[in-house]
Amino acid sequence: MRLRSPHDREILRLALPALGALAAEPLYILADTAIVGHLGRPQLAALGLAGTVLAGAFTIFNFLTYGTTSVVARASGAGRRDEAARLAAQALWVSLGIGVVLLVACEIVAEPLLRGLGGHGVSGHYALVYFRLAAFGLPAALVALAGQGYLRGVSNLRRPLEIVVVANLANLILEVVFVYVFHWGIAGSAGGTAIAQAGMGVAFVVELLRPPAPSRRPSWKEMRPMVRIGRQIFVRTAALYASFLVAASVLARMGDAEIGAHQIAYQLFLLIALILDAVAIAGQVIVGRMLGAGNADGSYDAALRMIGWSVAIGGVFALILAPLSHVLPAAFTSDPRVLHQAALLWPFLVAMQPLGGAVFALDGILIGAGDTRYLMWSMLAASALFVVLAALALALGWGITGVWAALDILIAARLALLWPRFATRRWAVVGWAAD
């Protein structure tokens, strides 16, 4: 990797504020994990199950961000500012509609869903309480996803950072008050998160309606570009989330200690993954904008540089995590059984980081290019492999190490499928491709 590149300044200009926003987002659940973890093992196990489902509901709809960024960046690169403004309004309608439907569905299926995933006894009861309260924040969270997608597409990454940081601080304050002052337990943690997300959603509504547009009425013609890309990203993300959901379900059946340790490692994984995704966001914006402007060679050179940076950052995280197997988990729980299981999975969490760096960068590049069909099918293939390995881990008694080894194989399989696609440059299609 070259020490300097003409693309570095632009990558840093976009990635640094994205890094701040992305690092703040998973702290919603990390704050829950730290606070709830000290309430007891059943509460932590409950959060491990309910938190995984809710984080997944948030994650699989991230096409509202990525799909919006892709089409808005191409519109901006092609000089079509009115089109970008119309897309902002359509992103609001799409996200709000999905959010309301998702909330209703979550409340209806909450009990059978959590029971089917292994929720039982006291921890199963706590999981249901947390799930039903925290779900009220989902519509606002999805609107926030769309708002971030629009602002990224027009290269304004400072405003999302400001909104997310304020919301995150509000969440932390509310949870401390509700749990430790009002003594509402796990319900207080869920309520604090839902209220903070509602405030964040309102702030992003303002941003989506700010740009002047000829019309803000719902229009299928205007929605179609982001829905087309979003549908394929949805399937890709749902398959990735399903893999982690299968992991949580398998570990819940192994015991509270296993699912508790997985919850800690999973939230750390999400935090690091979203930090690595800051470079991927730069990839979405730069690649989409350059291809919209007709510069295929420039988009490839910038993409190659972003992959190098992402792998290097992943390697740094691996070095930082390696000696902390008995330190970081202790910040979330004092239960000796949970800490033992966390130590067992730790080497696999460490090994995942540089591989994940490459994969997340390639994701961002191909999303920015609109090559989401290939992303979808490659993710489905890798997830199918993981499900087989996770089932074997449960049947053959491989324990938490077997499940996390399978997660490493999942990431490696994705890299093996995405790199050849990138190298062929078949994704580098130029021009305004929203139609």
Tokens for 116? Answer: 């089917």
pLDDT at 242 exceeding the cut of 90: no
What pLDDT is recorded for position 28?
Answer: 65
What pLDDT is recorded for position 295?
Answer: 86
pLDDT at 305 exceeding the cut of 60: yes
Per 3-state DSSP, the chain is made up of helix, strand and coil in percentages (nearest 5) of 85, 0, 15
Residue 370 — very low, low, confident or very high, per pLDDT cuts 50/70/90?
confident
pLDDT at 281 exceeding the cut of 70: yes
pLDDT at 80 exceeding the cut of 80: no
pLDDT, tens only, 18-33:
877 776 665 666 777 7
d(CA 85, CA 131): 35
Tokens 């699912």 belong to residue:
259
Residues in the chain: 435
- Reduced to 3 states (helix: H, G, I; strand: E, B; else coil), residue 318 is helix
What pLDDT is recorded for position 10?
Answer: 82
Neighbours of 240 (CB within 10 A): 22
- Reduced to 3 states (helix: H, G, I; strand: E, B; else coil), residue 435 is coil
pLDDT, tens only, 42-52:
888 888 888 87
From the CA atom positions of the chain, what is the Rg in Å? 21
CA 129 from centre of chain: 24
Share of the chain above pLDDT 90, in %: 37
Tokens for 249? Answer: 């379900």
Higher pLDDT, 187 or 222: 187
Task: Choose the most confident range, by mean pLDDT, from 17-31, 59-73, 94-108.
Answer: 94-108
Q: Mutual orientation of helices 81-116 and 185-209 as an angle, nearest 10°? A: 160
pLDDT at 435 exceeding the cut of 70: no
What pLDDT is recorded for position 136?
Answer: 94
pLDDT at 432 exceeding the cut of 70: no
Q: Characterize 188-206 residue by residue with b for buried, 16 or more Cβ atoms within 10 angstroms of its Cβ, and e for exposed.
A: bbbbbbbbbbbbbbebbbe
What pLDDT is recorded for position 416?
Answer: 95
Span 112-126, average pLDDT: 86
pLDDT at 245 exceeding the cut of 50: yes
CA 64 from centre of chain: 12
pLDDT at 7 exceeding the cut of 80: no
pLDDT at 434 exceeding the cut of 50: no
What pLDDT is recorded for position 29?
Answer: 66
pLDDT at 111 exceeding the cut of 60: yes
Span 367-389, average pLDDT: 92
Tokens 């009002």 belong to residue:
182
- Can you give the residue ranges of every domain in the chain? 8-424
pTM: 0.76
What pLDDT is recorded for position 428?
Answer: 83
